[in-house]
């Protein structure tokens, strides 16, 4: 049997996630779509698709018929709202997949640490920038130490809704932390750029990593590790790709970047990425939102698979 899930948040991210569950997942089943605006397109679309809905937020979800059958709850609201939602759902034994930068639970990047947290009560999907760039930092750090890594996520202004704009500070803090904790960098920094260009540009991400890798063998190993990781991410985010060959350039001893870390640094690794959305509900340029919903779907499917395995073992 499929695992029933609920989505809290009937905006762009929540609606796209609902459609992904309905269209793409062989193991998950929509049990509820939850919002707070009765007139939202997400709730209306859910009703047309036969998904049970409530416009009374998490309290409405708890009161719904069939709530006890829902095992996984996606939260696509905001960092502040997730704190309240997590507290309200805590007594009911649900697993939460948090698409906000609240970072209450362990941070998960599916291509890096998916299997580590499938049994957690509350997992955090970091940010769109984190999902796009932390896998690359982790790939580089699997070859050589990365004393410092900096990422720049550039997204179309039109793809940044009220929730994204309200969480800019949390975005930079959570992403920077993920670069260190999940990516393995000694120090991380994150920058987000809202690009107002028309027509809107698809998501672009730049990863800059300072490393001590003086020989060509290390350079080849870094490029191979990055290529493998791009393939792993694109398995669940088909629009994820390298824009050009990984650049590895010497860092002269007198360059100011040496002030960013006390560790020895010989080269800078520069990786340029783009993320095109699948356009299930959101426009194709909104790769920043698509990578979040794709990563969350991948995580929930892994959670469901683990629960099924445990049930089989108990039987």
179 forms beta bridges with none
Q: What is the distance between the alpha carbons of residues 306 and 312, in angstroms, rounded to a whole number?
A: 10
Tokens encoding 12: 């762009």
The annotation status of 184 as a binding-site residue, yes or no, is no
Would you say 25 and 301 are in contact if contact means Cβ atoms under 8 Å apart? yes
**288 among the known binding-site residues?**
yes
Q: Please say whether the beta carbons of 287 and 277 come within 8 A.
A: yes
Measured N-to-C along each axis, helices 12-24 and 287-314 cross at an angle, to the nearest 10 degrees, of: 50
Is 19 marked as a binding-site residue?
Answer: no
- Whether 313 has a binding-site annotation, put simply, is no
167 is an annotated ligand-binding site residue:
yes
- CA–CA distance, 38 with 49 (Å, rounded to integer): 16
Give the Cβ contact number of residue 305 at 10 Å. 13
Q: Is-catalytic flag, 119?
A: no
Q: Is 42 annotated as a binding residue?
A: no
Please tell me the distance from the alpha carbon of residue 137 to that of residue 273, in angstroms, as a whole number.
13
CA angle 6, 11, 13 (to 5 degrees): 70
Q: Is 159 marked as a binding-site residue?
A: yes
Asked whether residue 10 is marked as a ligand-binding residue, the answer is yes
Of the residues 34, 111, 128, 151, only one is catalytic, namely 128
- Residue 165 annotated as part of some ligand binding site: yes
- Rounded to the nearest 5°, which phi and psi values hold at 202? -75, 165
CA distances from 230 to 36, 124, 142, 271 (A): 37, 21, 14, 11
- Is 161 among the annotated ligand-binding positions? yes
Reported as half-sphere exposure (CB side, CA atoms, 13 A), residue 142 has a value of: 18
- Going by C-alpha positions, the residue among 65, 15, 73, 71 that lies closest to residue 282 is 15
Q: Is 166 annotated as a binding residue?
A: yes
Residue 32 labelled as part of a binding site: no
12 marked among binding-site residues:
yes
Known binding-site positions for NAD(+)? 10-13, 159-167, 288
Known binding-site positions? 10-13, 159-167, 288
Catalytic (active-site) positions: 128
């Amino acid at each position: 049997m499929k695992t029933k899930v609920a989505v809290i948040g009937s905006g762009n991210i929540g609606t796209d996630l609902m459609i992904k569950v309905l269209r793409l997942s062989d193991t998950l089943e929509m049990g509820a779509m939850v919002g707070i605006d009765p007139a939202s397109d997400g709730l209306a679309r859910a009703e047309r698709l036969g998904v049970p809905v409530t416009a009374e937020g998490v309290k409405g979800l708890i009161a719904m018929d069939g709530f006890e059958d829902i095992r996984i709850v996606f939260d696509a609201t905001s960092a502040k709202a997730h704190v309240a939602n997590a507290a309200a759902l805590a007594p009911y034994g649900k697993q939460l997949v948090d698409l906000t930068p609240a970072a209450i639970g362990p941070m998960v990047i599916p291509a890096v640490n998916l299997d580590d947290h499938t049994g957690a009560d509350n997992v955090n999907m970091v940010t769109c920038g984190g999902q796009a760039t932390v896998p690359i930092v982790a790939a580089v750090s699997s070859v050589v130490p990365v004393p410092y890594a900096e990422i720049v996520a550039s997204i179309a202004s039109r793809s940044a809704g009220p929730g994204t704009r309200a969480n800019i500070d949390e975005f930079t803090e959570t992403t920077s932390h993920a670069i260190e904790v999940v990516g393995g960098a000694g120090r991380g920094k994150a920058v987000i750029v809202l690009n107002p260009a028309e027509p809107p540009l698809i998501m672009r991400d730049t990863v800059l990593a300072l490393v001590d890798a003086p020989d060509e063998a290390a350079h080849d190993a870094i490029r191979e590790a990055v290529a493998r990781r791009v393939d792993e991410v694109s398995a669940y985010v088909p629009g994820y790709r390298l824009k050009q060959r990984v650049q590895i350039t010497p860092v002269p001893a007198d360059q100011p970047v040496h002030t960013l870390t006390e560790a020895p640094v010989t080269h800078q690794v520069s990786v340029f990425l783009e993320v095109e959305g699948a356009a299930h509900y959101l426009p194709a340029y909104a790769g920043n939102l698509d990578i979040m919903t794709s990563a969350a779907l991948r995580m929930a499917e892994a959670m469901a698979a683990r629960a099924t395995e445990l049930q089989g073992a108990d039987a």
